[in-house]
Amino acid sequence: MNEERLSAVFAALADPTRRGIVARLATGDATVGELAAPYDVSVQAISKHVKVLEEAGLVSRSRDAQRRPCHLEADVLDLMTGWIERYRRQAEERFQRLDTLLAELQQGQDDTREGAAS
């Protein structure tokens, strides 16, 4: 996933309403009207949010007779998860090194105390 697309995905998910839409679509496809139901905003406002999610590649729309259901493109979430996981692993490795260093320092202090007590 290129940096520009990744930035668009994270920007799209920066809005809590859009995150709510993604969460709803994770349970199954829905129309814009169905997505708008829990919000105190117009269907047009939700439609604009869906358009942002579409442009980021998170959502697609299809035609089913008179319905135009929105569908979550989960593969984009998998790509984001991979990107996040890489940095989570790096942070975990740094914390493990810090834990090791702190344990060594603690052991050195314990050894010093034992030597002074003898």
Would you write out the chain's pLDDT as a tens digit for each of its 118 residues? 578 888 899 999 999 999 999 999 999 999 999 999 999 999 999 999 999 999 999 999 988 777 889 999 988 888 888 888 988 999 999 999 999 999 988 888 877 777 777 6
Domains of the chain by residue range: 3-117
Q: Which residue has the tokens 């829990």?
A: 38
Tokens representing residue 47 in the block = 């439609």
Q: How far apart are the first and last CA of the chain?
A: 62
Q: What pLDDT sits at residue 118?
A: 64
Query: 3-117, which class in CATH?
Result: mainly alpha
Tokens representing residue 93 in the block = 């490795």
Q: What pLDDT sits at residue 94?
A: 92
pTM of the model as a whole: 0.73
